[in-house]
Amino acid sequence: MAVRYALIRRPPEAVWAVLCDGAKYEEWVIGTDETEEVDARWPAPGSEIRYTVRLGRLRLAGRTIVRVSERNERLELEAKAGPLGSARIAIELRPWGEDCLVIVDEHPLTGPGARLHGFATEAFLKLRHRQMLHRLAGVVEAGESAGRTAPA
């Protein structure tokens, strides 16, 4: 399984707020080109986001379904991208002092990634997670900065 960790210098509640905002999904998820529809119940189990996946000139319809949602602690998703198959993505949030340790664990469930799963797939997923976690931190920190007011 491809597991990657990142420390985001904000509390778990701030990270959770971004994970719960379906409109921000394309800002931090790698491969999501354009969000088309966000279920109003997101991130309740069974809710989903529909989007376009772009790989070079190839454009596919994708959707991500919430499988497990534990407020400020854990979000488990199933991402489906047509012929590319599906993957399980688990995002765990742990308090780390005043910050949040974010752990992403992903593995393919169906499609070519599941059939060919091995060292190369793991390496690709870890690189993807590094960039995704960097983006997530940026979105979280930008949102927190926007919500702060200057001291009087």
> Is the Cβ–Cβ distance between 10 and 99 less than 8 Å?
yes
Which superfamily does CATH assign the domain made up of 2-146 to? START domain (3.30.530.20)
Domain ranges of the chain: 2-146
| Mean pLDDT within 85-114 | 93
CB 81 within 8 A of CB 62: yes
Phi and psi, residue 6, nearest 5°: -150, 145
Report pTM.
Answer: 0.87
Question: What integer is the mean pLDDT of 107-120?
Answer: 81
Candidates 30, 1, 31; CA nearest to 123 is 1
Ranges of beta strands (E only) in 27-126 are 32-38, 48-55, 58-70, 74-80, 86-96, 99-110
